[in-house]
Copies of this chain bind each other. A is one copy, B any other.
Amino acid sequence: VSATIEDVARRASVSVATVSRALRGLPNVAPSTRDRVVGAARELQYVADPAASRLAGRRALRVGLLVPDLGSWYHAQLLTGVEGVLAGGDCDLLPFSLASTGGIERFLDAWPFLKRVDGLIVADGPIEDAQVERVADAGVALVTAGVLIDETPGLAIDNAAAVRRAVSHLVGLGHRRIAWLGGVRPAFGGRVASELVTASPSVGSERFRGFLDGLAAAGVVPEPRLLVPTEASFDGGADAMHRLLALAEPPTAVVAHCDPIAIGAMQVARDAGLAVPGGLSIVGIDDHDVSAHVGLTTIAQDPVSQGAGAARILVDYLTEGSAEVVHEIAPVRLVVRRTTGIPSARGVP
């Protein structure tokens, strides 16, 4: 159906070995020969069959991107960044969603895939040491995005610092009764912090830790009722706010694990007659596309460039085989808009 390397070789009157070298830009090809080969290839619209190249070259030329949910804003942006870097190259990008796989353990069990990929970008975590090892044993290069893990290359914002910044913004405004809407383990009981310390790092645990640290820095003792576990979505934020509103003594401010949570929470608060920021201040993390349009104060990050950065780390690692573990920290910045202000007298104890 399409031209093969033999067709090109015949047309250029050289051997297939020479065609292979010439087209891939390898050294030891006479310039005139190279021109002839390139011309023949163009005329025949020839392009190497990737399956054959991969088999002969013993390289998969594929990388996977594993995210919790391809449909979520953050992960879609991350994918966009990764795709932008890989587009045009000859390395395939394979997106995978934990939602359709059923957890990272199940994903790793799918060896049929894992064995045949050169690299894998895993977003968010948590990923256990044993799982990192499984990936390494398969000979697959691993890069994390969104969270950093010891001994594994990755790119992330400083999640804890980002949340601390949000907390300090609120504390600076005078808030002390601050709620957290995010990935808190359901059964944290009194051992909130210690449990998280032992768990593998994840975006959720890091941000929660930042929240606790931020409170501690302000001399505020965290109140368990103000720590609300939430799914990272608009709906999750709405649910969480309903629970907060049911409290005898609601918070004067909330920090959300991400902007969708913050926005879902904001609407519920307003619908309940609570002014934002008059009666309740809200800070998110992301700077989601919609956040400017709803006036959300947030810690802004750029997931597209994070995806691009993670992809570059992986590509470098694959091409140069550099053994060093690079950890890149992506920048964030506080964007103050219209959902934070000084606390009203009402909510303060």
Chain A residues within CB distance 8 Å of chain B: 1-2, 45, 47, 49-52, 54-55, 60, 62, 69-73, 75-77, 79-80, 83-84, 87-88, 90, 92-97, 99-101, 110-112, 115-116, 139, 233-235, 238, 260, 263-264, 267, 289-290, 292-295, 304
Contacts and interface: CB of A to CB of B under 8 A. Distances in A.
Contact of A92 (B69, B80, B92): B92
Given A83-B96, A234-B292, 13 more contacts: A50-B51, A51-B55, A70-B76, A71-B79, A73-B73, A75-B76, A79-B79, A80-B100, A87-B96, A235-B289, A260-B289, A260-B290, A267-B293
B234 A290 contact: yes
A47 B93 contact: no
Contacts of A233: 289
A52 B55 CA distance: 6
B95 A95 contact: yes
Given A76-B76, A263-B290, A93 B90 contact: no
A95 B307 CA distance: 14
A266 to B, nearest CB: 8
Identify the interface centre among A47, A52, A90: most chain B CB within 10 Å of its CB.
Answer: A47
Given A234-B290, A260-B290, A263-B290, A70 B79 contact: yes
B83 A116 contact: no
Contact of A93 (B71, B94, B263): B94
What 3 A-B pairs are tightest by C-beta distance, nearest first? A76-B76, A51-B54, A71-B80
B294 A267 contact: yes
A34 B174 CA distance: 72
B115 A95 contact: no
Q: Which of A54, A88, A234, A290 has the most CB of B within 10 A?
A: A290
A271 to B, nearest CB: 9
Nearest to A86: B100
